[in-house]
Chain A
Protein backbone atom coordinates (compact mmCIF):
# COMPACT_ATOMS: atom_id res chain seq x y z
CA UNK A 1 0.00 0.00 0.00
CA UNK A 2 2.71 2.45 1.03
CA UNK A 3 4.85 1.38 -1.91
CA UNK A 4 2.04 1.94 -4.34
CA UNK A 5 1.41 5.37 -2.83
CA UNK A 6 4.95 6.45 -3.63
CA UNK A 7 5.09 4.69 -6.97
CA UNK A 8 3.29 7.34 -8.94
CA UNK A 9 4.40 8.70 -12.28
CA UNK A 10 5.80 11.89 -10.81
CA UNK A 11 8.16 10.24 -8.34
CA UNK A 12 9.29 7.56 -10.76
CA UNK A 13 9.96 10.14 -13.44
CA UNK A 14 11.89 12.34 -11.00
CA UNK A 15 14.01 9.43 -9.81
CA UNK A 16 14.70 8.29 -13.37
CA UNK A 17 15.71 11.81 -14.36
CA UNK A 18 18.09 12.02 -11.40
CA UNK A 19 19.60 8.62 -12.22
CA UNK A 20 19.97 9.56 -15.87
CA UNK A 21 21.64 12.90 -15.06
CA UNK A 22 23.93 11.20 -12.55
CA UNK A 23 24.86 8.44 -15.03
CA UNK A 24 25.67 10.87 -17.84
CA UNK A 25 27.96 12.94 -15.63
CA UNK A 26 29.50 9.89 -13.96
CA UNK A 27 30.13 8.34 -17.37
CA UNK A 28 31.86 11.44 -18.66
CA UNK A 29 33.96 11.66 -15.52
CA UNK A 30 35.03 8.02 -15.78
CA UNK A 31 35.90 8.39 -19.45
CA UNK A 32 37.75 11.67 -18.79
CA UNK A 33 35.58 13.63 -21.21
CA UNK A 34 34.58 16.14 -18.53
CA UNK A 35 37.27 18.78 -17.81
CA UNK A 36 38.17 19.04 -14.11
CA UNK A 37 36.90 22.63 -13.97
CA UNK A 38 33.40 21.44 -14.88
CA UNK A 39 33.55 18.63 -12.35
CA UNK A 40 34.56 21.10 -9.64
CA UNK A 41 31.65 23.35 -10.46
CA UNK A 42 29.16 20.50 -10.61
CA UNK A 43 30.18 19.44 -7.12
CA UNK A 44 30.07 23.07 -5.95
CA UNK A 45 26.55 23.32 -7.35
CA UNK A 46 25.53 20.29 -5.27
CA UNK A 47 27.06 21.86 -2.15
CA UNK A 48 25.39 25.20 -2.77
CA UNK A 49 22.04 23.57 -3.49
CA UNK A 50 22.15 21.97 -0.03
CA UNK A 51 23.20 25.29 1.54
CA UNK A 52 20.60 27.38 -0.28
CA UNK A 53 17.70 25.01 0.32
CA UNK A 54 18.59 24.67 3.99
CA UNK A 55 18.80 28.44 4.41
CA UNK A 56 15.48 28.71 2.63
CA UNK A 57 14.03 26.37 5.24
CA UNK A 58 14.86 29.03 7.87
CA UNK A 59 14.45 32.27 5.91
CA UNK A 60 11.84 31.38 3.34
CA UNK A 61 9.64 28.70 4.81
CA UNK A 62 9.67 29.72 8.46
CA UNK A 63 10.07 33.43 7.77
CA UNK A 64 12.98 34.01 10.14
CA UNK A 65 16.06 35.84 8.98
CA UNK A 66 19.40 34.15 9.47
CA UNK A 67 22.60 35.49 7.93
CA UNK A 68 25.01 33.27 9.82
CA UNK A 69 24.71 30.16 7.69
CA UNK A 70 28.44 30.05 6.94
CA UNK A 71 29.05 29.50 10.66
CA UNK A 72 27.15 26.21 10.63
CA UNK A 73 28.87 25.26 7.40
CA UNK A 74 32.18 25.91 9.15
CA UNK A 75 31.23 23.66 12.07
CA UNK A 76 30.32 20.82 9.72
CA UNK A 77 33.46 21.36 7.65
CA UNK A 78 35.88 21.42 10.57
CA UNK A 79 34.28 18.59 12.56
CA UNK A 80 34.08 16.26 9.57
CA UNK A 81 37.63 17.15 8.55
CA UNK A 82 38.90 16.41 12.05
CA UNK A 83 37.25 12.99 11.93
CA UNK A 84 38.41 12.02 8.46
CA UNK A 85 41.88 13.58 8.49
CA UNK A 86 43.02 13.69 12.12
CA UNK A 87 41.26 10.63 13.53
CA UNK A 88 41.21 8.66 10.23
CA UNK A 89 37.54 7.82 10.58
CA UNK A 90 35.31 6.87 7.66
CA UNK A 91 33.92 9.62 5.47
CA UNK A 92 30.26 8.88 6.19
CA UNK A 93 30.88 9.09 9.94
CA UNK A 94 32.70 12.41 9.49
CA UNK A 95 29.86 13.91 7.47
CA UNK A 96 27.25 12.67 9.93
CA UNK A 97 29.11 13.93 13.01
CA UNK A 98 29.76 17.29 11.36
CA UNK A 99 26.10 17.72 10.49
CA UNK A 100 24.92 16.56 13.93
CA UNK A 101 27.24 18.91 15.80
CA UNK A 102 26.16 21.79 13.55
CA UNK A 103 22.54 20.88 14.32
CA UNK A 104 23.28 20.76 18.06
CA UNK A 105 24.93 24.19 17.94
CA UNK A 106 22.03 25.45 15.85
CA UNK A 107 19.61 24.17 18.48
CA UNK A 108 21.54 25.75 21.36
CA UNK A 109 21.91 29.05 19.51
CA UNK A 110 18.39 29.06 18.16
CA UNK A 111 16.70 28.52 21.50
CA UNK A 112 17.55 31.96 22.91
CA UNK A 113 18.05 33.98 19.71
CA UNK A 114 14.85 32.98 17.94
CA UNK A 115 12.93 35.06 20.47
CA UNK A 116 14.31 38.02 18.55
CA UNK A 117 12.56 39.30 15.49
CA UNK A 118 13.57 40.50 12.05
CA UNK A 119 16.67 42.66 12.03
CA UNK A 120 17.72 41.73 15.53
CA UNK A 121 17.69 38.03 14.70
CA UNK A 122 19.67 38.75 11.53
CA UNK A 123 22.37 40.55 13.45
CA UNK A 124 22.47 37.93 16.20
CA UNK A 125 22.95 35.11 13.68
CA UNK A 126 25.61 37.15 11.91
CA UNK A 127 27.36 37.50 15.27
CA UNK A 128 27.09 33.76 15.94
CA UNK A 129 28.58 32.97 12.53
CA UNK A 130 31.50 35.28 13.15
CA UNK A 131 32.11 33.94 16.66
CA UNK A 132 32.26 30.38 15.25
CA UNK A 133 34.78 31.49 12.67
CA UNK A 134 36.93 33.30 15.25
CA UNK A 135 36.91 30.22 17.50
CA UNK A 136 38.31 28.10 14.65
CA UNK A 137 40.74 30.90 13.80
CA UNK A 138 42.14 30.73 17.31
CA UNK A 139 42.27 26.95 17.61
CA UNK A 140 45.79 25.71 16.96
CA UNK A 141 44.63 22.11 16.63
CA UNK A 142 42.94 22.93 13.30
CA UNK A 143 45.75 25.13 12.02
CA UNK A 144 44.50 28.58 13.01
CA UNK A 145 44.38 31.15 10.21
CA UNK A 146 46.39 28.98 7.81
CA UNK A 147 43.76 26.24 7.95
CA UNK A 148 44.61 22.61 7.44
CA UNK A 149 44.86 20.24 4.54
CA UNK A 150 43.18 16.92 4.10
CA UNK A 151 42.85 14.41 1.31
CA UNK A 152 39.94 14.75 -1.10
CA UNK A 153 37.57 11.87 -0.46
CA UNK A 154 34.37 13.26 -1.94
CA UNK A 155 33.54 12.41 -5.50
CA UNK A 156 30.63 13.22 -7.79
CA UNK A 157 28.54 10.26 -6.58
CA UNK A 158 28.76 11.25 -2.92
CA UNK A 159 27.91 14.89 -3.48
CA UNK A 160 25.13 14.25 -5.99
CA UNK A 161 23.26 11.63 -3.98
CA UNK A 162 23.70 13.48 -0.70
CA UNK A 163 22.27 16.55 -2.41
CA UNK A 164 19.29 14.59 -3.75
CA UNK A 165 18.72 13.01 -0.34
CA UNK A 166 18.86 16.39 1.43
CA UNK A 167 16.45 18.02 -1.00
CA UNK A 168 14.00 15.11 -0.75
CA UNK A 169 14.11 15.21 3.05
CA UNK A 170 13.56 18.97 3.09
CA UNK A 171 10.78 18.73 0.52
CA UNK A 172 9.00 16.10 2.59
CA UNK A 173 9.53 18.10 5.77
CA UNK A 174 7.94 21.16 4.21
CA UNK A 175 4.94 19.15 3.04
CA UNK A 176 4.42 17.51 6.43
CA UNK A 177 2.42 18.74 9.41
CA UNK A 178 5.58 20.31 10.81
CA UNK A 179 6.30 22.11 7.55
CA UNK A 180 2.79 23.50 7.42
CA UNK A 181 3.24 24.75 10.97
CA UNK A 182 6.48 26.46 9.93
CA UNK A 183 4.69 28.16 7.03
CA UNK A 184 1.98 29.35 9.39
CA UNK A 185 4.67 30.95 11.57
CA UNK A 186 5.91 32.79 8.49
CA UNK A 187 2.47 33.94 7.41
CA UNK A 188 1.35 35.29 10.75
CA UNK A 189 3.08 34.39 13.95
CA UNK A 190 0.41 35.75 16.27
CA UNK A 191 -2.40 34.01 14.41
CA UNK A 192 -0.43 30.77 14.36
CA UNK A 193 0.08 30.98 18.11
CA UNK A 194 -3.62 31.64 18.59
CA UNK A 195 -4.33 28.47 16.60
CA UNK A 196 -2.33 26.49 19.15
CA UNK A 197 0.92 26.19 17.22
CA UNK A 198 4.00 26.24 19.40
CA UNK A 199 5.82 28.88 17.35
CA UNK A 200 9.09 28.72 19.29
CA UNK A 201 9.24 24.97 18.78
CA UNK A 202 8.83 25.23 15.03
CA UNK A 203 11.25 28.10 14.69
CA UNK A 204 13.89 26.13 16.58
CA UNK A 205 13.02 23.02 14.56
CA UNK A 206 13.55 24.81 11.26
CA UNK A 207 16.74 26.41 12.54
CA UNK A 208 18.12 23.06 13.73
CA UNK A 209 17.29 21.32 10.45
CA UNK A 210 18.80 24.20 8.51
CA UNK A 211 21.98 24.00 10.59
CA UNK A 212 22.12 20.21 10.11
CA UNK A 213 22.12 20.45 6.33
CA UNK A 214 24.50 23.42 6.36
CA UNK A 215 26.85 21.24 8.42
CA UNK A 216 26.46 18.42 5.92
CA UNK A 217 27.26 20.77 3.04
CA UNK A 218 30.28 22.04 4.99
CA UNK A 219 31.47 18.45 5.45
CA UNK A 220 31.18 17.76 1.73
CA UNK A 221 32.99 21.00 0.99
CA UNK A 222 35.86 20.27 3.40
CA UNK A 223 36.35 16.71 2.20
CA UNK A 224 36.39 17.78 -1.42
CA UNK A 225 38.50 20.94 -1.28
CA UNK A 226 41.81 19.58 0.14
CA UNK A 227 42.09 22.62 2.41
CA UNK A 228 39.84 24.51 4.77
CA UNK A 229 40.56 27.96 6.15
CA UNK A 230 38.51 30.11 8.53
CA UNK A 231 38.36 32.91 5.95
CA UNK A 232 36.28 30.70 3.64
CA UNK A 233 33.46 30.80 6.16
CA UNK A 234 33.28 34.56 6.71
CA UNK A 235 29.90 36.23 6.46
CA UNK A 236 30.54 36.93 2.79
CA UNK A 237 29.84 33.23 2.33
CA UNK A 238 26.58 33.66 4.24
CA UNK A 239 25.69 36.53 1.92
CA UNK A 240 26.48 34.39 -1.14
CA UNK A 241 24.02 31.77 0.09
CA UNK A 242 21.48 34.45 0.94
CA UNK A 243 21.70 35.85 -2.59
CA UNK A 244 20.90 32.41 -4.01
CA UNK A 245 17.85 32.05 -1.79
CA UNK A 246 16.60 35.58 -2.44
CA UNK A 247 17.15 35.29 -6.17
CA UNK A 248 15.22 32.05 -6.43
CA UNK A 249 12.46 33.23 -4.13
CA UNK A 250 12.13 33.07 -0.37
CA UNK A 251 9.91 30.08 0.27
CA UNK A 252 10.54 28.11 -2.91
CA UNK A 253 12.83 25.07 -2.74
CA UNK A 254 13.07 24.77 -6.51
CA UNK A 255 13.76 28.51 -6.59
CA UNK A 256 16.73 27.99 -4.27
CA UNK A 257 18.00 25.16 -6.43
CA UNK A 258 17.77 27.42 -9.45
CA UNK A 259 19.46 30.28 -7.54
CA UNK A 260 22.31 28.01 -6.44
CA UNK A 261 22.92 26.77 -9.99
CA UNK A 262 22.66 30.26 -11.47
CA UNK A 263 25.03 31.93 -8.98
CA UNK A 264 27.60 29.11 -9.17
CA UNK A 265 27.62 29.29 -12.95
CA UNK A 266 27.98 33.09 -12.81
CA UNK A 267 30.92 32.84 -10.42
CA UNK A 268 32.50 30.16 -12.59
CA UNK A 269 32.18 32.39 -15.65
CA UNK A 270 33.59 35.39 -13.78
CA UNK A 271 36.23 33.35 -11.93
CA UNK A 272 39.04 35.57 -13.19
CA UNK A 273 37.27 38.82 -12.25
CA UNK A 274 36.28 38.30 -8.60
CA UNK A 275 35.47 41.99 -8.03
CA UNK A 276 33.06 42.06 -10.95
CA UNK A 277 31.40 38.95 -9.58
CA UNK A 278 30.69 40.67 -6.29
CA UNK A 279 29.57 43.91 -7.94
CA UNK A 280 27.13 41.97 -10.12
CA UNK A 281 25.91 40.02 -7.09
CA UNK A 282 25.33 43.28 -5.24
CA UNK A 283 23.48 44.94 -8.11
CA UNK A 284 21.41 41.80 -8.60
CA UNK A 285 20.35 41.94 -4.95
CA UNK A 286 19.36 45.61 -5.06
CA UNK A 287 17.59 45.46 -8.42
CA UNK A 288 15.81 42.27 -7.38
CA UNK A 289 14.57 43.83 -4.15
CA UNK A 290 13.41 47.02 -5.85
CA UNK A 291 11.59 45.40 -8.78
CA UNK A 292 10.69 41.88 -7.68
CA UNK A 293 11.11 41.47 -3.92
CA UNK A 294 9.61 37.98 -3.95
CA UNK A 295 12.43 36.53 -6.06
CA UNK A 296 12.01 34.78 -9.38
CA UNK A 297 9.73 32.02 -8.14
CA UNK A 298 8.09 33.73 -5.18
CA UNK A 299 6.80 30.96 -2.96
CA UNK A 300 5.77 28.82 -5.93
CA UNK A 301 7.39 25.50 -6.71
CA UNK A 302 8.26 24.00 -10.04
CA UNK A 303 6.82 20.53 -9.92
CA UNK A 304 6.23 17.47 -11.98
CA UNK A 305 2.61 17.33 -10.90
CA UNK A 306 1.42 17.58 -14.50
CA UNK A 307 2.77 14.08 -15.00
CA UNK A 308 0.31 12.61 -12.56
CA UNK A 309 -2.87 10.93 -13.66
CA UNK A 310 -5.97 12.98 -13.11
CA UNK A 311 -7.20 11.06 -10.08
CA UNK A 312 -3.83 11.16 -8.37
CA UNK A 313 -3.53 14.89 -8.93
CA UNK A 314 -6.79 15.57 -7.15
CA UNK A 315 -5.86 13.34 -4.27
CA UNK A 316 -2.58 15.14 -3.66
Chain B
Protein backbone atom coordinates (compact mmCIF):
# COMPACT_ATOMS: atom_id res chain seq x y z
CA UNK B 1 0.00 0.00 0.00
CA UNK B 2 2.80 2.37 0.94
CA UNK B 3 4.50 1.50 -2.31
CA UNK B 4 1.43 2.38 -4.34
CA UNK B 5 1.05 5.66 -2.48
CA UNK B 6 4.68 6.50 -3.14
CA UNK B 7 4.28 5.69 -6.84
CA UNK B 8 1.17 7.81 -6.92
CA UNK B 9 2.89 10.80 -5.34
CA UNK B 10 5.88 10.41 -7.64
CA UNK B 11 3.64 10.52 -10.70
CA UNK B 12 1.83 13.50 -9.20
CA UNK B 13 5.14 15.37 -8.96
CA UNK B 14 6.01 14.50 -12.57
CA UNK B 15 2.52 15.49 -13.65
CA UNK B 16 2.67 18.83 -11.90
CA UNK B 17 5.96 19.83 -13.49
CA UNK B 18 4.77 18.81 -16.97
CA UNK B 19 1.37 20.34 -16.30
CA UNK B 20 2.92 23.66 -15.33
CA UNK B 21 4.50 23.85 -18.81
CA UNK B 22 1.16 23.05 -20.43
CA UNK B 23 -0.42 25.72 -18.26
CA UNK B 24 2.09 28.34 -19.41
CA UNK B 25 1.36 27.58 -23.07
CA UNK B 26 -2.38 27.32 -22.44
CA UNK B 27 -2.37 30.81 -20.92
CA UNK B 28 -1.20 32.28 -24.21
CA UNK B 29 -3.89 30.40 -26.12
CA UNK B 30 -6.59 31.48 -23.76
CA UNK B 31 -5.55 35.15 -23.67
CA UNK B 32 -5.41 35.41 -27.44
CA UNK B 33 -8.70 33.59 -27.83
CA UNK B 34 -10.30 35.77 -25.20
CA UNK B 35 -9.35 38.94 -27.01
CA UNK B 36 -9.55 38.21 -30.76
CA UNK B 37 -11.57 34.93 -30.77
CA UNK B 38 -8.86 33.20 -32.74
CA UNK B 39 -7.23 29.84 -32.05
CA UNK B 40 -3.62 30.81 -32.51
CA UNK B 41 -2.36 27.55 -34.01
CA UNK B 42 1.11 29.05 -34.27
CA UNK B 43 1.34 29.33 -30.49
CA UNK B 44 3.02 25.95 -30.03
CA UNK B 45 5.55 26.94 -32.66
CA UNK B 46 6.33 30.18 -30.86
CA UNK B 47 7.16 27.89 -27.96
CA UNK B 48 9.50 25.96 -30.26
CA UNK B 49 11.21 29.22 -31.25
CA UNK B 50 11.57 30.04 -27.55
CA UNK B 51 13.20 26.66 -26.96
CA UNK B 52 15.70 27.35 -29.75
CA UNK B 53 16.43 30.84 -28.41
CA UNK B 54 17.14 29.36 -25.00
CA UNK B 55 19.34 26.76 -26.61
CA UNK B 56 21.32 29.40 -28.51
CA UNK B 57 21.69 31.48 -25.36
CA UNK B 58 22.96 28.59 -23.25
CA UNK B 59 25.17 26.78 -25.76
CA UNK B 60 26.48 29.50 -28.08
CA UNK B 61 26.50 32.48 -25.72
CA UNK B 62 27.12 30.45 -22.55
CA UNK B 63 24.54 32.31 -20.53
CA UNK B 64 23.04 30.85 -17.40
CA UNK B 65 19.40 29.85 -17.01
CA UNK B 66 17.76 33.12 -15.99
CA UNK B 67 19.28 35.41 -18.67
CA UNK B 68 18.53 32.73 -21.27
CA UNK B 69 14.92 32.53 -20.10
CA UNK B 70 14.60 36.31 -20.23
CA UNK B 71 16.17 36.49 -23.70
CA UNK B 72 13.81 33.80 -25.02
CA UNK B 73 10.80 35.58 -23.55
CA UNK B 74 11.67 38.97 -25.04
CA UNK B 75 12.39 37.67 -28.54
CA UNK B 76 9.29 35.44 -28.51
CA UNK B 77 7.20 38.43 -27.47
CA UNK B 78 8.49 40.41 -30.47
CA UNK B 79 7.83 37.42 -32.73
CA UNK B 80 4.29 37.13 -31.40
CA UNK B 81 3.59 40.81 -32.08
CA UNK B 82 5.03 40.52 -35.60
CA UNK B 83 2.86 37.49 -36.36
CA UNK B 84 -0.21 39.37 -35.21
CA UNK B 85 0.59 42.50 -37.23
CA UNK B 86 1.52 40.70 -40.45
CA UNK B 87 -0.82 37.72 -40.58
CA UNK B 88 -3.79 38.21 -38.26
CA UNK B 89 -4.48 41.93 -38.28
CA UNK B 90 -5.56 42.12 -41.94
CA UNK B 91 -8.09 39.38 -41.18
CA UNK B 92 -9.60 40.83 -38.05
CA UNK B 93 -12.95 41.38 -39.75
CA UNK B 94 -12.81 38.31 -42.00
CA UNK B 95 -14.57 35.06 -41.20
CA UNK B 96 -13.29 33.03 -38.27
CA UNK B 97 -12.48 30.15 -40.60
CA UNK B 98 -10.24 32.38 -42.74
CA UNK B 99 -8.37 33.45 -39.60
CA UNK B 100 -8.06 29.83 -38.48
CA UNK B 101 -6.62 28.78 -41.85
CA UNK B 102 -4.15 31.67 -41.66
CA UNK B 103 -3.09 30.52 -38.21
CA UNK B 104 -2.48 27.03 -39.57
CA UNK B 105 -0.42 28.61 -42.35
CA UNK B 106 1.68 30.62 -39.90
CA UNK B 107 2.21 27.49 -37.84
CA UNK B 108 3.44 25.49 -40.85
CA UNK B 109 5.62 28.42 -41.86
CA UNK B 110 7.36 28.59 -38.47
CA UNK B 111 7.84 24.81 -38.38
CA UNK B 112 9.33 24.37 -41.82
CA UNK B 113 10.95 27.78 -42.05
CA UNK B 114 12.62 26.87 -38.78
CA UNK B 115 13.66 23.57 -40.32
CA UNK B 116 15.32 25.44 -43.19
CA UNK B 117 17.18 27.65 -40.71
CA UNK B 118 18.33 25.15 -38.12
CA UNK B 119 17.92 21.83 -40.02
CA UNK B 120 15.63 19.05 -38.89
CA UNK B 121 18.35 17.62 -36.69
CA UNK B 122 17.51 17.10 -33.03
CA UNK B 123 19.59 19.35 -30.74
CA UNK B 124 20.52 18.53 -27.17
CA UNK B 125 20.02 21.01 -24.38
CA UNK B 126 23.02 21.44 -22.16
CA UNK B 127 22.61 20.43 -18.51
CA UNK B 128 21.51 23.82 -17.18
CA UNK B 129 20.81 22.60 -13.66
CA UNK B 130 22.85 20.47 -11.29
CA UNK B 131 21.78 16.83 -11.20
CA UNK B 132 20.72 17.15 -7.56
CA UNK B 133 17.76 15.00 -6.56
CA UNK B 134 15.92 15.73 -3.33
CA UNK B 135 14.40 12.73 -1.63
CA UNK B 136 11.39 13.71 0.43
CA UNK B 137 9.75 10.67 2.05
CA UNK B 138 10.70 8.48 -0.88
CA UNK B 139 9.48 10.88 -3.54
CA UNK B 140 12.16 12.14 -5.91
CA UNK B 141 12.26 15.86 -6.65
CA UNK B 142 14.77 16.72 -9.34
CA UNK B 143 16.36 20.16 -9.07
CA UNK B 144 14.99 20.90 -12.56
CA UNK B 145 11.44 19.97 -11.52
CA UNK B 146 11.57 22.41 -8.64
CA UNK B 147 12.95 25.26 -10.77
CA UNK B 148 10.31 24.57 -13.39
CA UNK B 149 7.44 24.64 -10.94
CA UNK B 150 8.76 27.77 -9.27
CA UNK B 151 9.33 29.55 -12.59
CA UNK B 152 5.84 28.72 -13.82
CA UNK B 153 4.19 29.79 -10.59
CA UNK B 154 6.14 33.07 -10.55
CA UNK B 155 5.22 33.78 -14.17
CA UNK B 156 1.56 32.98 -13.52
CA UNK B 157 1.53 35.36 -10.57
CA UNK B 158 3.12 38.07 -12.68
CA UNK B 159 0.46 37.50 -15.31
CA UNK B 160 -2.32 37.59 -12.77
CA UNK B 161 -0.95 40.85 -11.39
CA UNK B 162 -0.62 42.34 -14.88
CA UNK B 163 -4.13 41.42 -15.92
CA UNK B 164 -5.79 42.49 -12.70
CA UNK B 165 -3.93 45.57 -11.54
CA UNK B 166 -2.19 47.33 -14.45
CA UNK B 167 -3.54 49.64 -17.10
CA UNK B 168 -2.64 47.20 -19.88
CA UNK B 169 -4.44 44.44 -18.05
CA UNK B 170 -7.49 46.58 -17.57
CA UNK B 171 -7.64 47.47 -21.26
CA UNK B 172 -7.11 43.80 -22.16
CA UNK B 173 -10.12 42.86 -20.09
CA UNK B 174 -12.12 45.70 -21.59
CA UNK B 175 -11.28 44.71 -25.18
CA UNK B 176 -12.08 41.05 -24.57
CA UNK B 177 -15.41 42.05 -23.05
CA UNK B 178 -16.52 44.33 -25.87
CA UNK B 179 -14.10 45.52 -28.50
CA UNK B 180 -16.24 48.33 -29.91
CA UNK B 181 -17.25 49.71 -26.54
CA UNK B 182 -13.61 49.67 -25.42
CA UNK B 183 -12.68 51.58 -28.55
CA UNK B 184 -15.32 54.21 -27.79
CA UNK B 185 -14.00 54.53 -24.24
CA UNK B 186 -10.60 55.51 -25.63
CA UNK B 187 -8.80 52.18 -25.31
CA UNK B 188 -6.19 51.71 -28.01
CA UNK B 189 -7.47 48.36 -29.28
CA UNK B 190 -4.57 47.66 -31.65
CA UNK B 191 -1.94 48.20 -28.99
CA UNK B 192 -3.89 46.15 -26.50
CA UNK B 193 -4.13 43.23 -28.91
CA UNK B 194 -0.39 43.53 -29.61
CA UNK B 195 0.29 43.53 -25.89
CA UNK B 196 -1.81 40.39 -25.47
CA UNK B 197 0.11 38.61 -28.20
CA UNK B 198 3.38 39.80 -26.67
CA UNK B 199 2.54 38.55 -23.18
CA UNK B 200 1.14 35.24 -24.45
CA UNK B 201 4.16 34.66 -26.67
CA UNK B 202 6.58 35.56 -23.89
CA UNK B 203 4.95 32.90 -21.72
CA UNK B 204 5.21 30.43 -24.62
CA UNK B 205 8.89 31.32 -25.03
CA UNK B 206 9.47 30.65 -21.34
CA UNK B 207 7.60 27.36 -21.65
CA UNK B 208 9.86 26.48 -24.59
CA UNK B 209 13.00 26.92 -22.54
CA UNK B 210 11.52 24.86 -19.69
CA UNK B 211 10.44 22.21 -22.20
CA UNK B 212 13.98 22.02 -23.58
CA UNK B 213 15.37 21.67 -20.07
CA UNK B 214 12.77 19.05 -19.16
CA UNK B 215 13.09 16.80 -22.22
CA UNK B 216 16.74 17.66 -23.08
CA UNK B 217 16.10 17.53 -26.83
CA UNK B 218 14.55 20.07 -29.17
CA UNK B 219 13.61 19.96 -32.86
CA UNK B 220 11.64 22.23 -35.20
CA UNK B 221 8.46 20.13 -34.92
CA UNK B 222 8.52 19.89 -31.12
CA UNK B 223 5.83 22.57 -30.77
CA UNK B 224 3.02 20.70 -32.50
CA UNK B 225 1.95 18.16 -29.90
CA UNK B 226 2.52 20.30 -26.77
CA UNK B 227 0.74 23.13 -28.57
CA UNK B 228 -2.29 20.96 -29.26
CA UNK B 229 -2.26 19.64 -25.71
CA UNK B 230 -2.03 23.12 -24.28
CA UNK B 231 -5.03 23.95 -26.39
CA UNK B 232 -6.81 20.95 -24.85
CA UNK B 233 -5.86 22.36 -21.45
CA UNK B 234 -7.27 25.77 -22.39
CA UNK B 235 -10.55 24.23 -23.59
CA UNK B 236 -10.73 22.04 -20.50
CA UNK B 237 -10.53 25.05 -18.22
CA UNK B 238 -12.85 27.13 -20.38
CA UNK B 239 -11.24 28.99 -23.24
CA UNK B 240 -10.75 32.70 -22.65
CA UNK B 241 -10.61 32.26 -18.86
CA UNK B 242 -7.14 32.71 -17.37
CA UNK B 243 -7.44 30.67 -14.14
CA UNK B 244 -9.12 27.97 -16.23
CA UNK B 245 -6.01 27.60 -18.38
CA UNK B 246 -3.82 27.11 -15.30
CA UNK B 247 -6.11 24.49 -13.81
CA UNK B 248 -6.61 22.81 -17.19
CA UNK B 249 -2.87 22.57 -17.76
CA UNK B 250 -2.24 21.01 -14.37
CA UNK B 251 -5.14 18.55 -14.74
CA UNK B 252 -3.89 17.50 -18.17
CA UNK B 253 -0.31 17.08 -16.92
CA UNK B 254 -1.48 14.96 -14.00
CA UNK B 255 -3.71 12.80 -16.22
CA UNK B 256 -0.84 12.16 -18.60
CA UNK B 257 1.53 11.30 -15.79
CA UNK B 258 -0.93 8.79 -14.35
CA UNK B 259 -1.62 7.22 -17.74
CA UNK B 260 2.14 6.83 -18.22
CA UNK B 261 2.43 5.50 -14.67
CA UNK B 262 -0.11 2.79 -15.49
CA UNK B 263 2.22 1.65 -18.27
CA UNK B 264 0.22 2.98 -21.21
CA UNK B 265 2.55 5.81 -22.22
CA UNK B 266 1.96 5.23 -25.96
CA UNK B 267 -1.70 6.06 -25.37
CA UNK B 268 -0.85 9.35 -23.63
CA UNK B 269 -1.62 11.55 -26.62
CA UNK B 270 -4.86 9.71 -27.37
CA UNK B 271 -6.03 10.29 -23.80
CA UNK B 272 -5.44 14.03 -24.12
CA UNK B 273 -7.51 14.18 -27.29
CA UNK B 274 -10.23 11.98 -25.82
CA UNK B 275 -10.49 14.41 -22.89
CA UNK B 276 -10.82 17.20 -25.43
CA UNK B 277 -13.59 15.48 -27.35
CA UNK B 278 -15.45 14.57 -24.16
CA UNK B 279 -15.21 18.12 -22.81
CA UNK B 280 -16.38 19.55 -26.11
CA UNK B 281 -19.35 17.21 -26.22
CA UNK B 282 -20.40 17.39 -22.58
CA UNK B 283 -19.51 20.95 -21.61
CA UNK B 284 -18.01 22.93 -24.49
CA UNK B 285 -17.57 26.00 -22.29
CA UNK B 286 -15.11 24.12 -20.08
CA UNK B 287 -14.87 23.72 -16.32
CA UNK B 288 -15.00 27.44 -15.55
CA UNK B 289 -17.11 28.61 -18.45
CA UNK B 290 -20.57 30.06 -18.44
CA UNK B 291 -23.17 29.26 -21.04
CA UNK B 292 -23.87 32.11 -23.43
CA UNK B 293 -27.17 32.03 -25.22
CA UNK B 294 -27.19 32.51 -28.95
CA UNK B 295 -29.35 35.40 -30.04
CA UNK B 296 -30.88 35.54 -33.48
Contacts and interface: CB of A to CB of B under 8 A. Distances in A.
A290 B273 contact: no
The size bracket of the interface on B is 35 or more
A275 interface: yes
Given A138-B267, A290-B87, A293-B94, A119 B39 contact: yes
B105 A282 contact: yes
Contact of B296 (A124, A190, A282): A190
A30 to B, nearest CB: 39
Nearest to B90: A290
Interface stretch (B13-21, B157-165, B277-285): B277-285
Given A113-B280, A123-B231, A242 B269 contact: no
Contacts of A126: 228
B276 A286 contact: no
Interface in A254-285: 275-276, 278-279, 281-285
A96 interface: no
B270 A285 contact: no
A118 interface: yes
Given A123-B231, A130-B270, A275-B116, A113 B109 contact: no
Nearest to A234: B224
Contacts of A278: 108, 111-112, 115
A285 B267 contact: no
Contacts of B87: 286, 290
B107 to A, nearest CB: 8
Main secondary structure on A side of the interface with B = helix
Contact of B281 (A112, A119, A246, A286): A112
Interface string B279-296: 011001000000000001
A127 B280 CA distance: 11
A65 interface: yes
A131 interface: yes
Contacts of A122: 39, 100
Contacts of B267: 134, 138
B146 interface: no
Contacts of A120: 235, 280, 284
A297 interface: no
A239 interface: yes
Given A118-B97, A276-B116, A283-B109, A239 B280 contact: no
Contacts of B280: 113, 116, 120, 123-124
A233 B100 CA distance: 21
Interface residues of A, number: 39
Contact of B276 (A127, A137, A283): A127
B115 A275 contact: yes
B109 A282 contact: yes
A241 to B, nearest CB: 12
Interface-central residue, B97, B101, B231, by most chain A CB under 10 Å: B101
B113 interface: yes
Nearest to A238: B104
B104 A275 contact: no
A289 interface: yes
A124 B277 contact: yes
B98 interface: yes
A124 B276 CA distance: 7
A282 B228 contact: no
Contacts of B260: none
Contacts of B98: 289, 293
A279 B105 CA distance: 9
A168 interface: no
B102 A116 contact: no
A293 B99 CA distance: 9
Given A123-B280, A138-B267, A279-B112, A290 B102 contact: yes
A275 to B, nearest CB: 5
B65 to A, nearest CB: 31
User: Which 8 pairs across A and B sit closest by C-beta, in order of nearness?
Assistant: A285-B105, A278-B112, A282-B108, A282-B109, A127-B273, A286-B105, A134-B270, A293-B98
18 contacts: A65-B100, A122-B100, A124-B280, A130-B269, A131-B270, A131-B274, A138-B266, A138-B267, A276-B116, A281-B105, A282-B107, A282-B109, A282-B113, A283-B105, A285-B105, A286-B109, A290-B91, A293-B95
